Structure formats: C-alpha cells, structure tokens
Chains A and B, each alone.
Chain A
Amino acid sequence: MKVGVVTFPGSLDDRDAARAVRAAGAEAVSLWHADADLKKVDAVILPGGFSYGDYLRCGAISRFAPVMTSIIERANVGMPVLGICNGFQILCESHLLPGALTRNVGLHFLCTPQPIRIENISTPWTNNFQQGAEIVIPLKNGEGSFQCDDKTLDQLESEGRVIARYVGENPNGSRNLIAGISNARGNVVGLMPHPEHAIDSLTGPTADGLAFFTSVLTAMVGK
C-alpha cells in the first residue's frame, strides 16, 4: 500500500514522515506541491515544517497548492489524510478541519517530549492504539494553540472528534487541551505533536508514534 508524503517549499519533516511510513511497512511516495497528480496513493500525509516560511499565517499559502486541490477532492470521498503540525495547520486553512492553530500562549517556539492521550481509536490513523492510551511524542511548534468557537468545540466534543489531548499542563493554550482532531467522517486527522519523530527510541523520546502509521495500514488492508 502506498502513502503519499507531500513536500511544500519549506516542508521539513517530509523525510521523517516517509521514514515512518516505511517503518510501518508501507511504501512512501513523494508528492510535490506543484503537481496535482497523487500517483495512485491510498493515503496522504501533510508533514511538518514552515511551508512558504509560514510568514503570513501557518498553512495559509500552501492551502492553494495544486496538490491540495486533488487532496481535498479525495479526502472528501474518504481517503485517509493525516496532517502533522504544519500539515494540521494546512488542513484547517483548507477547511478540511474546523478551527485554527494560533500562537502558543507562551509566545515561544516549544520543543518538548509531550504526553498525550488517544481519545478516539476509530479513525484510520489511530485504530492500532488502545482507547485512552497515554503516549509521549515530540511537540514542536510556535503556533500550536487550537482555537475555535464554542459551537465548533461542542460539536467536536460531542461527536468524539477530539482524537488526542495533551496530558498534564496545557503546553500552548489549546482549547480543551486539544492535540488532534478529525473531520466528521474520521478519515482526515490533524495532529499537532509529531508521531514521525517517535518511531524509534534511539532518535525519539519513545517509539509510541509508530502506531499512527501502522494504523493506516490496518485500515486499508481491512477494507
């Protein structure tokens, strides 16, 4: 099975995401922002980084890349899409996910091993976790504070679309400690912390992140 990893100008974690895909046993296919062709992939990852420098607003410019038009189309008919960090920001800017990611309350870039709890294991990106599992993966961003209006928040909570929550002190001011959410259908997931940097405890704080990538394999094979 093939998982596409998009490279935008300024993407940084594309190679790490591809490595994680391979570690999970799938084929990683590199997708280029300016190319609308999705090369027959079964799922797509939008990796972390500072696409276009994130100078205007994180993800604001990448959202208009040709590859996004194709991804939005396929996402709307159920293709699994995972946006990590900058990828999450792009998904929000694209309106595939609600809300927005804003400046951390501490006003600093923050890089730290972050405990999170998996709150929904029915998505294609989380099905290999135990419900309520507490894991530690890196969090690293300057604009990771999830914000939305009350109505959206209620909806996310009542529909079980908060897929991961920070454990312990709120690292960035996110509403309801939200670390990740999904769309209504569950196939599109945005996650602020970085599972691709936690696939091996040699280079990451843990290997807890790998299950996000094996999950999508399980989801596709099960189909």
Chain B
Amino acid sequence: MALDTVAIAATTPDQEQPFAALGLKSDEYQRICEILGRRPSSSELAMYSVMWSEHCSYKSSKVHLKQFGEKAPHSDALLVGIGENAGVVDVGQGYAVTFKIESHNHPSFVEPYQGAATGVGGIVRDILTMGARPIAIMDPLRFGEAHAPDTRRVLPGIVAGVGGYGNCLGLPNIGGEIVFDKTYAGNPLVNALCVGVMRHDQIKLAKASGPGNLVVLFGAKTGGDGIGGVSVLASETFGSTGPAKRPSVQVGDPFTEKVLIECSLEIFAEDLVVGIQDLGGAGLSCATSELASGGSGGMRVELDTVPLRDPNLSPEEILMSESQERMCAIVEPHKIARFLEICKKWDVTVTVIGEVTDGDRLIITWHGEVIVDVPPRTVAHDGPVYNRPVARPNYLDGAIADTPQLPKLDATNIAQAILDLISSPNMADKTWVTSQYDKYVQGNTIQSQPEDSGMVRIDERSHLGVAISTDANASWSYLNPYEGAKLALAEAARNIATAGAKPLAVTNCLNFGSPEDPGVMWQFAETVRGLADGCLEMGLPVTGGNVSFYNQTGDVAILPTPVIGVLGVIQDVRLRTPMAFNCEGLDLFLLGATNADFAGSQWAYMHDQRGGTVPVTDLQREMRLIDLLLEGQPIFAAAHDLSQGGLAATISEMVLHHGIGAGLDIPGDLATALLSETPGRVLVAITQSDSQKIESLATKYSIPLTRIGKSGGSTLSINSVSISIETLREAYTQTFPKLFGTEKLG
C-alpha cells in the first residue's frame, strides 16, 4: 500500500478520499481542507474522522452540556472540573477524589464478556490518568426483559466481564444497578463508574508542555483493535489487496492493566511526568492531539517506533487503533532513565515515540516522511458542533394522559402483592450478580451491595471515607425527562445521605437513542436542563460524565436513561448508618409524605402501565431531608431510602438483611402507603428513647414524620397480615438463580 504523505497531499488536491465511509459529512471534509489549506493526507483524514465522531467530539451534545458550566454552582470542593479525563473533588485532609462514569453499551451487546470487561478497563484508566489510585468500581446495568432468551446470553456475559476485569484489577465493586425493560433488548447498557484517591499535589493533567520533553507510550502493544473504518480507508483509497482482517471485538487484558496501574502509581509517586493521557477511544490520535493542544501546542511523533502486536498495521491504523491498556506520558529528558527503570521493574513495554516542540503543529512521521502536520486544537477541540433539531415527541401527550389504574389492596391480597413485587426481576435479590464481584479487596469497603450507596474508607487513621450512589429512573424520564433527571439526582444524593455522607459532586452517563431523531434530542435536551438546574439548586457541581447516543433498534429508542452518580464525604466511616436494623424493638419512622404516585412505578411496570404524570421533585425539601439525615445520623440505627417498589420494597429489604421482622401499622389506603413511589422519603429505625429527638429534627427541617411500626419478630406484619421471613426470602432470592442459574460455559 502506497504511503500518502503530507507532501503528496499537497500536490494531489483532486485525489478522491472516502470521507463519507469514515463518517464525515462533506461540509466537515471541506472544513478539514480549509484548516489545512490542502486535502488531508490519509493519516490526517483518519485522525480527523475519528476525533470528529460523535463519540469523541460530542458534536450533538456539546451545545447542551455547556449548561453544566454555565449553571455551575460555586463549589470550593471542585479541584478539576469537566473537560479533563475526570473531575477531581477535595474531600478534606489533603485528599482529592476523582470519579466518573462511562458507557460501553454497544460492544457489550456484540460480545458481552469482553465488551463489559473493556468498559471497566477504560474507566479505570481515566481515573488513573488523573494521578489517582483507583479504589472502587460500580456498574449500573440495563437489560431487555428478564425472560427474553437474548437476556440470558447478554446478562451472564456482562456480569462475568465486569467481574472478570474488576476482580483481576483488585478493585472492590461497591454497587450498581440492574434494571430490565424491553427497550434495552438489543441495546443493553453497561455503564461503569470508577473512583480514585490521591493527595492534592498529585493531580495530573493531560498536557504536553516544555519543548524537548519526551512523548512516551507505555503499556500494551498496539494491535488492529477498533479500526474497522480505517481499514475501509486503507483499502479503498490506496488499492491494497483488500483490508487485512481486523478484530471486530476487543479483548481485554486485565493483568496488563493491573501492572500498568502499579507501574504508573510508582511513576507518579516519584513525580516523573509533566502530563499524562490514557489511550481510549481514538487511541493515539486522541492522546497526541489532546496532549499537544492541552500544552504548548507543538509535538513531533515518530509513528514507526510504536510497538506493534500486528506488524502489518498501516500508519492510519496505528493512529486509530483502540487497543486497550496503553498510556501516553510527557517526561522531562532528565527523568526518562528512572521512568524506563520503573517500567522495566513491572515488565511494562515502554517506548519514547516523540517529543514536545516549540512550534504549534502536531507532526507525525513514518520512516522519516511527514504523514501528519496539523494544528492539534483543530483535531482535539474544534470539531463540528451541531444544533440538532429538537421536538417534543408525539408519544408524550398520550402517555401522560394514560394515568395508571390504582391498585386495590386489602387483607386478602396484600401478601401476594408484596411477594409478587419483591420477586419481580427489577426488585429481586441481586446476589446472583454481586457475588461474582470482589467487594473485600483493598480492605476498605465499608458498604457495598445491597446498601443504598457504596462506601469506602480512604484514611485508616482518621476514618475519612467517601460514599457513592448511582441512580436513574428511566420510566420517569420517559414521561418527563426534565423531572426525571432531577429525580435521579435527588435519589442519588439521598442514598448518600441515608448512610451519613454529605453529597459533594455529581457525575453522569446519559444513555439515549439517536440524536438525529428530534424526539430523542428533545429528551436529551430536557434531561441536561433538568440535571443542570437540579445541580445548581442543590449546589452540587457536575464534574464529568459521558454521553452514549444511538442506543436504539430501528426506530425504537431505549428509554431515556440518565444515570446520575453522586459522591459524598463522611468524616468517620465507623459512624455510618446501615440500611437495615439488626435488633428488635426499634421504632420505625417514615420521613416524608406519601402521595398516590404510581406513574413510572414498579407496580405500574409490572402491570404494563407505562403512562401518567410523574411526581415533581421539590429539591428544597430534598435538601432539608438530607440535612436532617446528616444531623440525625447519631440517633439512626438504620436508614433506608424509599424508591422503586415503595415502602413495600424498602421494608422487605430491611427485614431480609438481618432476618429480623417488623410490624407496621398502616392507616388509610394500603396500596398508596405500600406501593406509591413518591420521592423524598426515607425509613429510619431508632431506639424509643430517641423519639423526642427525631420529632424535633422533623420540626426543625419541616419534614413530615410518621411512626409506622417496630422492628422484631419473625414475620413482616402489616396491620393484620403476616408474611414469614422465610416466605419473603424465598420470593426475593429465587428469581435470579431461576432465570440465570444455568451455567455459562467457558
């Protein structure tokens, strides 16, 4: 295959280029020609096409996402905001915490195990890149109907992949979500969150400054992963004998990543890098252009020095390769010897591939010939921006008008209703999944599944810790994406506070259908507006996130699924409030008022009712509730959030956790009391002597307070009806083993 150099490009302006096959529109191609003052070389075309893709450039979402900056609340805690690999938050005592969620949806549908595994690997490198030691992961997941045959292929594979990669890295899995809905058939969502910790002075940024500094590639060798599009380019334009076989699926190598983590942390500890960037989507194209444009602007890279797994890769392919487990660092020349030594100690492949220059061009050569000569900013940051059409979708009016039928509950059917609820796949025990994840490794896990939030200790002496929760209620977002986003934010923050941690910062992963559908774009715009407004009102900065579009099959998009992650800090993890009571005789109080909120509820889902008006969240009240929970923490023996499945689910989960029963006394409409999903409610357990205190707290924060029962006994009793704990447990625990118990091979 002939090499297309910059010199050739300059003299062959009329050479046709397959920009459309690479996903570029003709006006985008024109802009590239204008930027360069000539047609791009094939390597330049490859770089621009991948960097200007939706995935890398956020071209459809950018105009909306900027609200997170414009409406950002003032926050002293924010050390690094949106734009870097991950945001960084000050949690006190000199510690900084970084966290972020990312999606790996489509690859996980094609090859569930490897797709999910490499999703975990990718987000962990983002966190590592900030200079932090990764300390925990979470995995919010969405699947098609639990009984669908394809779910039996996809779910076990994804779960094994999340576990296989995360366990091998030694990262405790401290939470996640598993939700089923038919719109996710063909579009499973694999979102992965990672959190890391460092000292303030260890924060690293993606910038290549200091002419003469070296560009160092380390980690796995580069293979032909994820470069299908570029093979098109190589074969079409230059008439090779047809594209070589390129992998359609990337295989992760968690061992290589584990070693890369330890090696990088040792390098950071000795302060050997000026800037650093992980290689993820768009591989070297992204890393070199972002490092260069984040720094002084000039960089020269000898692409033929890149160590290859497949010696037949073309320069275009090397630039595009998305091979996993690689990092790119900027190192001062006098520190390179030590850098190489540490890589050798960990047996990590390392190569100096170029240097920072004092120009403002990114120049890439291949055996001495210049194949790329571009202003790096134009690749990394000046991609196209679309103001895509937005239109309120037609389904909405009908859906909102379709108010769900209120269930009727009385002594004759209440037990069955509860058993049906807690045995339904969305509500049932997830131990079949979470027991495949290591939650003990690193010895700092304070809370993990099935608690409301995950919590890890970050200092063994001071007992400082952080808590994280991720939440999304796509059924609400479907009916009202603006409120849906706020409700998810409120729920995640509440889940942190029930444990006694103070919410500090937000990350998110926005999973949607095609941005080319104005209805989907409207859902997206409303979601971002809701989240930005919510964050502003609650004083919580959005520190980063991820957008995943094109989750749809034909015309049918997934439910709009904004997964919101909230991080909080707790001064002394020993004082946290667990989700369940472990003794008898405690008073159970419900904080918050209950209305008949069935739209988007589990009960409605189970009865195939998808319409209605979603509750409007009152963030001021949510914030008062959070303050109440934090102030009241010393008196709470247990606190558990009410969300999907309402009070019925919450009390069942509390009872089952330690096998201690409860008796509830419920006046009024049973169905509303037990199954409604009115937001802003928490069930707390306290000793009788503290009743006075909770009453005065409720008054102080004007949160409705109802005493609803007592812990104890071997049944869950509601008014005159009792269900034995064994019956409850059977219903709760059998669902997943029955659905997915058949062993996967491998």
Contacts and interface: CB of A to CB of B under 8 A. Distances in A.
A49 interface: yes
Given A16-B442, A203-B457, A108 B253 contact: no
A77 interface: no
Contacts of A16: 441-443
B503 to A, nearest CB: 23
Interface string B442-485: 11111000000000010010000000000000000000000000
Contacts of A9: 255, 258-259, 262, 346-347
Contacts of A203: 440, 443-446, 457
B299 interface: no
A202 B259 contact: no
Contacts of A204: 440, 443
A106 to B, nearest CB: 7
A41 B438 CA distance: 30
B347 A194 contact: no
Nearest to A7: B262
A10 interface: yes
A110 B163 CA distance: 10
A107 B743 contact: yes
A138 interface: yes
A140 B443 CA distance: 13
B438 A140 contact: yes
Interface string B718-746: 00000000000000000000000001111
B744 A111 contact: no
B488 interface: no
Contacts of A12: 168-170, 258, 441
B743 A53 contact: no
B441 A112 contact: no
B155 interface: no
A156 B346 CA distance: 38
Contacts of A106: 743
Contacts of A64: none
A140 B346 contact: no
B254 interface: yes
Given A108-B436, A109-B164, A110-B435, A10 B259 contact: yes
22 contacts: A9-B255, A12-B168, A12-B258, A12-B441, A16-B443, A52-B255, A54-B168, A106-B743, A107-B743, A107-B744, A107-B746, A108-B743, A109-B164, A109-B438, A111-B436, A112-B435, A140-B167, A142-B167, A194-B440, A197-B441, A197-B443, A202-B574
A19 B435 contact: no
B711 to A, nearest CB: 21
Given A12-B170, A50-B255, A108 B160 contact: yes
B361 interface: no
B439 interface: yes
Chain A interface extent, by class: 20 to 34
Nearest to A13: B441
A13 B745 CA distance: 28
B346 A53 contact: no
Interface of B: 160, 163-164, 167-170, 253-256, 258-259, 262, 346-347, 434-446, 457, 460, 573-574, 743-746
Contacts of B457: 202-203
A194 B441 CA distance: 10
A55 B255 contact: yes
A15 interface: yes
Interface of A: 9-10, 12-13, 15-16, 19, 49-50, 52-55, 106-112, 138, 140, 142, 194, 196-197, 202-204
Contacts of A53: 168, 253-256, 258
Q: Output the residue of B164, B167, B746 with the most chain A CB within 10 A.
A: B167
B258 A10 contact: yes
B254 A110 contact: no
Contact of B440 (A52, A109, A138, A142): A138
A48 to B, nearest CB: 8
Contacts of A49: 170
Q: Which of B253, B262, B435, B444 gathers most chain A CB within 10 Å?
A: B435
A106 B745 CA distance: 10
Given A12-B441, A140-B167, 5 more contacts: A9-B262, A50-B167, A50-B255, A53-B168, A204-B443
Contacts, number: 90
A15 B259 contact: no
A54 B440 CA distance: 19
B472 to A, nearest CB: 25
Contacts of A13: 170, 441
Nearest to A106: B743
Contacts of A108: 160, 435-436, 743
Contacts of A197: 440-441, 443
Contacts of B441: 12-13, 16, 140, 197
Given A53-B168, A202-B446, A111 B573 contact: no
Nearest to A34: B345
Q: Most chain-A CB neighbours within 10 Å: which of B258, B436, B440?
A: B440
Nearest to B441: A12
A140 B254 contact: no
Nearest to B170: A12
Contacts of B442: 15-16
A223 B22 CA distance: 73
A10 B446 contact: no
B258 A109 contact: no
Contacts of A194: 440
A5 B144 CA distance: 46
Given A202-B446, A202-B574, A204-B440, A109 B163 contact: yes
A53 B259 CA distance: 10
Contacts of B439: 111
B499 to A, nearest CB: 14
B345 to A, nearest CB: 8
A54 to B, nearest CB: 8
Contacts of A202: 446, 457, 573-574
Nearest to B254: A53
A202 B457 CA distance: 10
A22 to B, nearest CB: 10
A66 to B, nearest CB: 14
Contacts of B256: 53
Contacts of A111: 167, 434-440
A110 B443 contact: no
A50 B438 CA distance: 12
A54 B169 CA distance: 12
Contact of A10 (B255, B438, B444, B460): B255
Closest 4 CB pairs of A and B: A53-B255, A12-B170, A197-B440, A16-B443
A53 B165 CA distance: 10
A108 B437 CA distance: 10
Contacts of A112: 435
A88 B31 CA distance: 61
A13 B347 CA distance: 20
A203 B444 CA distance: 6
A9 B460 CA distance: 25
A153 to B, nearest CB: 26
Contacts of A54: 168, 255
Contacts of B440: 111, 138, 140, 194, 197, 203-204
Contacts of B254: 50, 53
Contacts of A142: 167
B219 to A, nearest CB: 14
A203 B255 CA distance: 25
A78 B262 CA distance: 33
Nearest to B437: A111
A202 B254 CA distance: 29
A20 B350 CA distance: 35
Contacts of B435: 108, 110-112
A137 B254 CA distance: 26
A109 B744 CA distance: 12
